[in-house]
Amino acid sequence: MNKKIWLCSPHMGGTERKYVNDAFDTNWVAPLGPNVDAFEKGIALYNQVGYVAALSAGTAALHLALIMLGVKAGDEVIASSFTFAASVNPIIYQGATPILIDSESETWNMCPQQLEIAIRDRIDMGKKPKAIIPVHLYGMPAKIDQIMAIADRYEIPVIEDAAEAMGSKYKGKPLGSFGLMGFFSFNGNKIITTSGGGALVSNNESLILQSRFLASQARECAPHYEHEVIGYNYRMSNICAGIGRGQLEVVDDHIARHREIFNYYKRELSIFEGLTFQQEPNNDFYSNYWLTCIQVNPEKCGGITRDQLRIAMEGDNIDCRPLWKPMHLQPVHHDKPFYSTGISEQLFARGLCLPSSSNLADEDLDRVIGVIKNMLSKALVKKMRMSVN
Ligand SMILES: *Cc1c(COP(=O)(O)O)cnc(C)c1O
């Protein structure tokens, strides 16, 4: 069996162990500690935001953001349909209803036109949405300037889901820094990892102070345990933050390699008219290319479908996945309001994520490309012969 090629696996830089050892040596094997403080400072600096709370997960960050905006049972919150379930779950935790917005075709992210239609429609129906959660999927910036302009016009706060997009930029400004709040994920498969973890970021200091308070069981300032509101156990541990400190030293190398991998696939696979890429629409957009994503058009691929390609790669021990299944197609969300462009359904039907780990060698990429080229060229030659006969 060929060596396994992962979609996106943890990639240690080397100094992570030193920070984790420091935690052991000083017995800071606890939630919070010097690694957490330093990691928060590093995240703030890297993403050009004022304040950061290091948390146990990106999902926890979004949950706290919604709580701080006062989202409660019966409220409505606008979200992208084309995303991972964690972008929407915390809305449900609060008893609120997600209003799902479809994608536009250029970045595959939230369509600004449908966003505005939805806001007007919900206001006409008597409920102004409490928040908007645009997602920068696979690291690709959403049309964040248009989304912010609409949000500002209707005075609705924005929480950017930049879980997959650390280091991506729009017009040179890091994602996560546009909205009132933003969040990142440091799950094992993301651009950098703390094994598991996340961060809430904002330029509003009191929001970050409040999030740290809520994330540590909402303990009031008193010698005994005093509670005026309900808290959560959402802080990051000092061990995990040690991994994160080491990862911050190599994040730019990771992103450079993710971008190289995208360009490598694009150069090798652009010969096939039936394969199209999720790519930066113009120079305003700068993606970390967390995952390289393609669409497979069977009519132009000699009849070969996304699933045939996926299964062929699986057979060669190559990890690749369909794109995220949109939330409006998920059984658990079948009853949620949805503002459609038709785009995310097509993306889900034809889209494939290619292995994009920053620790992949060119030989690994050649193996992936080999499987695709082999399958498509055979099918296209066969089709050509048939049309000649
Ligand atoms: C990973 C991810 C999250 C959740 O982050 P966790 O750290 O896994 O809780 C949220 N949104 C998107 C788009 C993600 O990819």
Same domain, 30 and 89: yes
Angle at 175 between CA 171 and CA 176, to 5 degrees: 145
- Whether the CB-CB separation of 248 and 42 falls below 8 Å is answered with yes
The pLDDT of residue 329 is: 98
Same domain, 271 and 335: yes
CA atoms within 13 A on the CB side of 330: 18
Same domain, 45 and 73: yes
Instruction: Look at residues 251, 273, 308 and tell me which one is the last residue of a structural domain.
Output: 251
Q: How far, in Å, CA of 235 to CA of 57, rounded?
A: 9
For ligand 1, atom 2, which residue shows the shortest CA distance? 163
pLDDT one-digit tens code per residue, 64-93: 999 999 999 999 999 999 999 999 999 999
Is there an atom of ligand 1 within 6 Å of 116 CB?
A: no
CA–centroid distance, residue 77 to ligand 1 (Å): 18
Is there an atom of ligand 1 within 6 Å of 76 CB?
A: no
Same domain, 100 and 125: yes
Q: What residue type is assigned to position 318 of the chain?
A: I
- Whether the CB-CB separation of 247 and 193 falls below 8 Å is answered with yes
Indicate whether 379 belongs to any domain: yes
Indicate whether 115 belongs to any domain: yes
For ligand 1, atom 11, which residue shows the shortest CA distance? 87
Same domain, 204 and 331: no
**φ and ψ at 217, to 5 degrees?**
70, 15
Q: How far, in Å, CA of 374 to CA of 269, rounded?
A: 11
The pLDDT of residue 337 is: 98
The pLDDT of residue 370 is: 97
Burial class (CB in 10 A: 0-12, 13-18, 19+), 61: buried
The pLDDT of residue 35 is: 96
| Number of domains present in the structure of the chain | 2
Q: Strand 97-101 vs strand 76-80: parallel, antiparallel, or unpaired?
A: parallel
Q: How far, in Å, CA of 93 to CA of 65, rounded?
A: 12
Indicate whether 287 belongs to any domain: yes
Is there an atom of ligand 1 within 6 Å of 80 CB?
A: no
CATH code, domain carrying 366: 3.90.1150.10
Instruction: Look at residues 228, 251, 274 and tell me which one is the last residue of a structural domain.
Output: 251
Indicate whether 227 belongs to any domain: yes
The tokens describing 30, both together, are 């606890």
Instruction: Look at residues 251, 275, 302 and tell me which one is the last residue of a structural domain.
Output: 251
Is it the case that residue 309 has pLDDT exceeding 80? yes
pLDDT one-digit tens code per residue, 255-267: 999 999 999 999 9
Indicate whether 8 belongs to any domain: no
Same domain, 354 and 234: no
The atom of ligand 1 lying closest to the CA of 59 is 9
Q: How far, in Å, CA of 261 to CA of 361, rounded?
A: 9
Q: 77 - beta bridge partners?
A: 98
Indicate whether 152 belongs to any domain: yes
Mean local confidence (pLDDT), 160-181: 98
Is it the case that residue 230 has pLDDT exceeding 80? yes
Angle at 121 between CA 116 and CA 124, to 5 degrees: 130
**Ligand 1 test: best mutation among 59, 138, 140, 168, most atoms within 8 Å of CB?**
59
Number of C-beta neighbours around residue 46 at 10 A: 17
**Ligand 1 test: best mutation among 185, 189, 288, most atoms within 8 Å of CB?**
185
pTM of the model: 0.97
Alpha-helical segments (H) within 205-288: 205-215, 238-248, 251-269
pLDDT one-digit tens code per residue, 173-185: 999 999 999 999 9
Indicate whether 4 belongs to any domain: no
Same domain, 65 and 131: yes
Same domain, 43 and 162: yes
Q: How far, in Å, CA of 373 to CA of 366, rounded?
A: 10
Helix (H), strand (E), coil (C) string for 96-158: CEEEEECECCCCCCECHHHHHHHHHHHHHCCCCCCCEECECHHHCCCCHHHHHHHHHHCCCCE
Is there an atom of ligand 1 within 6 Å of 160 CB?
A: no
Q: How far, in Å, CA of 97 to CA of 81, rounded?
A: 13
Is there an atom of ligand 1 within 6 Å of 166 CB?
A: no
Per-position DSSP letters for 43-105, written without gaps between them:
HHHHHT-SEEEEES-HHHHHHHHHHHTT--TT-EEEEESSS-GGGTHHHHHTT-EEEEE-B-T
> Which domain, by its residues, includes 262?
252-388
Mean local confidence (pLDDT), 129-152: 98
Is there an atom of ligand 1 within 6 Å of 103 CB?
A: no
Considering only CA atoms, give the Rg of the chain. 22
Same domain, 222 and 322: no
CATH code, domain carrying 194: 3.40.640.10
Same domain, 69 and 183: yes
Is there an atom of ligand 1 within 6 Å of 163 CB?
A: yes
Q: In what order do the strands lie in the sheet with 285-286?
A: 173-174, 169-170, 285-286
Least-confidence region, from 4-13, 24-33, 100-109, 122-131: 24-33
pLDDT one-digit tens code per residue, 78-133: 999 999 999 999 999 999 999 999 999 999 999 999 999 999 999 999 999 999 99
Q: How far, in Å, CA of 116 to CA of 244, rounded?
A: 38
CA–centroid distance, residue 87 to ligand 1 (Å): 7
CA–centroid distance, residue 186 to ligand 1 (Å): 8
Mean pLDDT of the chain: 96
Mean local confidence (pLDDT), 255-280: 97
Mean local confidence (pLDDT), 279-296: 98
pLDDT one-digit tens code per residue, 326-380: 999 999 999 999 999 999 999 999 999 999 999 999 999 999 999 999 999 999 9
The pLDDT of residue 384 is: 83
Is it the case that residue 30 has pLDDT exceeding 90? no
Is there an atom of ligand 1 within 6 Å of 187 CB?
A: yes
Same domain, 150 and 260: no
The pLDDT of residue 217 is: 96
CA–centroid distance, residue 208 to ligand 1 (Å): 19
Helix, coil or strand: residue 318? strand
The atom of ligand 1 lying closest to the CA of 190 is 1
CA–centroid distance, residue 57 to ligand 1 (Å): 8
pLDDT above 70 covers a percentage of the chain that reads 100
Same domain, 303 and 358: yes
The pLDDT of residue 386 is: 83
Q: How far, in Å, CA of 108 to CA of 279, rounded?
A: 9
Indicate whether 298 belongs to any domain: yes
Is it the case that residue 141 has pLDDT exceeding 80? yes
The pLDDT of residue 371 is: 97
